[in-house]
Amino acid sequence: MTKIFYFLLLSQAIIFSQAPYTILISFDGFRHDYMNRGLTPNLQKVADNGVKALSLMPVYPTKTFPNHTSIITGMYPENHGIIANTFYDPVTNKTYKISDSIQVRESRWYKGEAFWETAQRNGIIAASFFWPGSEVNLEYRRPRYFKDYDHYLPYKLRVDGLIEWLKLPQKDRPRFLTVYFDATDTYGQNFGPNSDSLNYAVNLLDGMAGYLMDKLAEINLIDSTNLIFVTDHGMTEISSDKYVNIEEILGDEKVAYWNWSTFCLIQPEKGRLDEVYNKLKSNEKHYKVYKKSEVPDFYHFSSSPLFSDLILFTDLGWEAGDTKAQKRFQEWNAKGNHGYENGELDMHGLFVAMGPSFRKNYKTGTLRNIDIYPLLCEIFDIPVRNGIDGKGERIRFILNKY
């Protein structure tokens, strides 16, 4: 009898000595100031009971896949390899594209170690209800539980999926989980960051935060779970007249290009680099053009071998491309975009977190998204992978153990 009692006591101690459950929630394109619109009572509850940062600074380029990969690896895109949503590898002659599920699952593109890999190496089970890179085609690089991306899967089912995983027996239950929602990006791009439709999306995602908290309370895990709400980038207003037509500037020059939009990767024909560069440089208005070797260090953007010889960055609110891309852009008539410099406040996103590991009712300034990976390592008390760009000492003060 006493033996059984001690066994039960010991197993409880083991359970309680484990790190809390931690859910990383991404609201795509949720700009840092959307919480000031009076539409987010649930996120406010998280802030009041936890930590709220003034903003979360993304990495350059402020696009979805590069930033989600930086959040989950703690590395800059030039180091983790996902340098854009679309890019080309001249060695293998393959193009990475987020709409191409075969390439998105190709493990070779992902040079960094995602937190779920670090966690699982340390015996912590991970699960992902969507996150860029979570579906890779090598089992040991994926979270134990994952889902193939389905843009149209109703949001409540994503939360229900997390809850099902959290109801698994202890030995199979994940401790680290991710989930992703696109609405603020989709509505922000189609209708603009100041539209009623965007406000609807903000309120919708806040409702998902509330639904998740209610469901966690139902299974008695709300007090033992960290919730970390983050964003990959912000959003700014655009208009169809703010467009630089590169084809008109380049005339007869033939170039290969990727990402005609807020930044362009441009590959001139052999022997034509200086001519193409000079044409773009002498017309430099509403954009900046660099040779790969001259891109300023603060972008942390160009040391990857995957970069083209020229890179063009548009000014906030501007787009660039050829005549075909311009026509497509005008037909779409988008009202918002991202992809601009990560120093621009409009590109900054949301960071609010609460749970047993976090300080309570604590406000702080801007945090960097590359520091979230080491923050997760701090929470789970496991070593960070060597060679990351993020730094735990820049963010750990938001945890209550410091």
Would you say 29 or 133 has its CB closer to Zn ion? 29
Would you say 105 or 300 has its CB closer to ligand AMP? 105
- Residue 132 within binding range of ligand AMP, rule CB under 6 A: yes
Residue nearest to Zn ion (CB): 64
Cβ(256)–Cβ(270) under 8 Å? no
Please classify residue 254 by burial: count the beta carbons closer than 10 Å to its beta carbon, then call 0-12 exposed, 13-18 middle and 19+ buried.
Answer: exposed
Q: Where are the beta strands (DSSP E) in 132-250?
A: 145-146, 176-181, 225-230, 236-237, 243-245
**Amino acid at site 310:** L
- Residue 334 within binding range of ligand AMP, rule CB under 6 A: no
Closest CB 47 distance from Zn ion, rounded Å? 22
Cβ(314)–Cβ(244) under 8 Å? yes
Binders in 137-176 for ligand AMP, by CB under 6 A: 149, 151
88, 116, 130, 290: which one binds ligand AMP (CB under 6 A): 130
Report the partner that residue 180 touches, choosing among ligand AMP, Zn ion, none (CB closer than 5 to 8 A by kind).
ligand AMP
Would you say 186 or 283 has its CB closer to ligand AMP? 186
Binding region for ligand AMP (CB under 6 A) out of 7-15, 180-188, 220-228, 318-326: 180-188
Nearest residue to 182 (alpha-carbon basis) of 213, 155, 146, 144 = 155
d(CA 122, CA 141): 13
Closest CB 129 distance from ligand AMP, rounded Å? 10
Closest CB 64 distance from ligand AMP, rounded Å? 3
Known catalytic residue at 186: no
Catalytic residue among 22, 40, 64, 225, which? 64
Cβ(353)–Cβ(46) under 8 Å? yes
d(CA 277, CA 312): 10
Binders in 355-394 for ligand AMP, by CB under 6 A: none
Report the partner that residue 149 touches, choosing among Zn ion, ligand AMP, none (CB closer than 5 to 8 A by kind).
ligand AMP
- Residue 98 within binding range of ligand AMP, rule CB under 6 A: yes
Assigned token pair, 334: 């988008």
d(CA 112, CA 74): 8
Report the partner that residue 341 touches, choosing among Zn ion, ligand AMP, none (CB closer than 5 to 8 A by kind).
none
Assigned token pair, 371: 């520091």
180, 260, 329, 358: which one binds ligand AMP (CB under 6 A): 180
Would you say 63 or 368 has its CB closer to ligand AMP? 63
Order of strands, sheet of 225-230, starting from the edge strand that comes earlier in the sequence = 145-146, 126-129, 176-181, 21-27, 225-230, 351-354, 51-53, 362-364
Active site residues: 64
| Sites of contact with ligand AMP (CB under 6 A) | 28, 63-64, 85, 98, 104, 130, 132, 149, 151, 180, 182, 185-186
